[in-house]
Amino acid sequence: DFEVFQIQQVVGVLAKINEEQRFEPFYLARDNDGQSGAYYTVNRVPRVLTAKEKKFGAVSSYAGSEVFISLVDANVAPYKSQLSQLNIIALCTNRHLPIQLPISMGDTDLATELYSPVASVRFVAGPTVPVASTAQGDPSWRIISHLSLNYLSLLDAKEGKEGDGAVALRDLLKLYVNSNDVFSLRQIEGIRSVAATPIVRRIASAGPLTFARGLEIRVTMDEEAFEGSGIFILGAVLAQFFARYVSINSFTETVIVSLRRGEIMRWPSLIGRRQIA
């Protein structure tokens, strides 16, 4: 049982003249003459359960997806040339089958094809559960919105009070977490507020004394949601995230605050990856 992960190449064989026609991805920017007039588009949809699966139940909670391609010309009209054959090179997975592998149930988890002085081969951990594609629906549009993300929309007006900023930041982080990952989702829900205050800091330079204006971003978290790991790691990630999206000639200074213990950590003032002092 296979599932298409990625299509790498599509080549059609023209009828009668027996020549090959290479189809390029329609939405892929590429430096070419644009005169080929042969393209393909991909549409990924959730897989429909078979009649047997509907009657007796599916063997896995992951149904997977099916991929359909359309052959078009430069105007997205159906490709008119007569094709006798279509050759496709694609990367495929075994869908849900890997998570059904018997782990630590026999003398070895894997067997070698040729004789070798190996008694057994064991998996340290089993395969991860497959994740549904985000190519369709609302998540795909929210991912695209990251290309022009304005971090100011993630900030609340008052520290310690939950507002639209905390909600927006939580929704953003959830895009990178498996919906079945309860542990990570609980940590994200531990973000209570994101507040910003204008600040001025001196910039270290060999020239004259220079100061810059920036933002102190205080992220308040509930440590009960981070039991067993602490809030430092997520705070370090957020410090780098805010620094990447700072406006030109400005900086961010991220502060992590605990509802229980107050200020925990203050990161240096950053412009991208560079410290200003």
Same domain as 150, residue 40: no
CA distance 277 to 270: 9
114 within a domain of the structure (yes/no): no
Same domain as 191, residue 72: no
Same domain as 230, residue 147: yes
Range of the domain at 249: 140-275
In DSSP terms, which residues pair with 214 in a beta bridge?
199
Task: Evaluate whether 259 touches 223 at the Cβ level (below 8 Å).
Answer: yes
Task: Evaluate whether 217 touches 155 at the Cβ level (below 8 Å).
Answer: yes
End-to-end CA distance of the chain: 57
CA distance 199 to 251: 9
Whole-number percent of the chain with pLDDT over 90: 14
250 within a domain of the structure (yes/no): yes
CA distance 277 to 269: 7
pTM summary value = 0.63
Tell whether the model's pLDDT for residue 64 goes beyond 70.
yes
User: What number of CA atoms fall less than 13 Å from residue 211's CA on the CB side?
Assistant: 4
**Where in the chain does DSSP place strands (E)?**
3-14, 20-25, 39-46, 65-72, 83-93, 191-203, 210-221, 252-258, 262-266, 270-271, 274-275
Same domain as 78, residue 16: yes
The pLDDT, as a whole number, for residue 156 is 58
86-141: pLDDT as tens digits: 999 999 998 888 888 888 887 888 888 888 888 888 888 888 878 777 766 677 77
Same domain as 29, residue 144: no
61 within a domain of the structure (yes/no): yes
130 within a domain of the structure (yes/no): no
Provide the number of structural domains found in the chain. 2
Picking from 48, 64, 98, the residue at the C-terminal end of a domain is 98
Picking from 66, 81, 98, the residue at the C-terminal end of a domain is 98
